[in-house]
């Protein structure tokens, strides 16, 4: 049974992580024109190189119709390309364009640069030394099903 102290810790963690994510979004001028799902979809395309729209929708936990709108916007910006599948010409393969990859990596760099500066200017050396352990713990939460 979860006690009230555990619930309060969970609430505090959720709040601080949400605030940090919002802060990081603001620190990337490059990605401000994109929604969180659009940025996440681009990251998945970067990781997997090529995906079908329905695979991307499933990974993002959105409907195929929502993914279609996301892909249309990314296409308008020149960040993705579509091509017919070699195996089944009825299917369309989505991949990042060179511009899409450049934009994704630039946005990541901007956020990482801000976070590294914030860590170095606000943490003591002892606090910085605790980061690998904290990252490991947070990774366990992310991996929890």
Handedness of CA 142, 131, 17, 6 (dihedral sign): positive
Nearest to 71 by CA among 52, 85, 91: 52
Contact 51, 93 (CB under 8 A): yes
Per-residue pLDDT reduced to its tens digit, 46-67: 999 999 999 999 999 999 999 9
pTM as predicted: 0.80
- State the Cα–Cα distance between residues 86 and 83, nearest whole angstrom: 9
Q: Which domains does the chain have, with CATH numbers?
A: 4-143 (1.10.10.10)
What pLDDT does residue 66 have? 96
Q: Residue 63: its pLDDT value, please?
A: 96
Q: What is the mean pLDDT of each run of 10 residues along the chain (145 residues)?
A: 88 95 86 88 97 96 96 97 90 97 94 96 97 95 87
pLDDT at position 127, please? 97
CA separation for the pair 87, 57 (Å, rounded)? 21
Q: How far is CA 111 from CA 31, 80, 105, 108, 140, in A?
A: 10, 22, 10, 5, 23
pLDDT of residue 31: 77
pLDDT given for residue 88 in this prediction: 87
Residue bearing tokens 């017919």 = 84
């Amino acid at each position: 049974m979860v006690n009230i102290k555990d619930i309060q810790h969970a609430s505090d963690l959720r709040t601080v992580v949400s605030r940090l994510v919002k802060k990081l979004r603001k620190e990337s001028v490059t990605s401000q024109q994109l929604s969180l799902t659009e940025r996440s979809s681009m990251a998945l395309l970067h990781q997997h190189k090529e995906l079908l729209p329905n695979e991307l929708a499933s990974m993002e936990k959105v409907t195929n119709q929502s993914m279609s709108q996301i892909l249309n916007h990314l296409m308008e910006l020149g960040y993705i390309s579509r091509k017919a599948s070699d195996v089944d010409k009825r299917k369309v393969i989505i991949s990042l364009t060179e511009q899409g990859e450049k934009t994704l990596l630039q946005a990541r760099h901007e956020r990482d640069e801000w976070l590294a500066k914030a860590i170095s200017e606000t943490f003591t050396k002892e606090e910085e030394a605790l980061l690998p352990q904290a990252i490991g713990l947070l990774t366990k939460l992310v991996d929890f099903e």
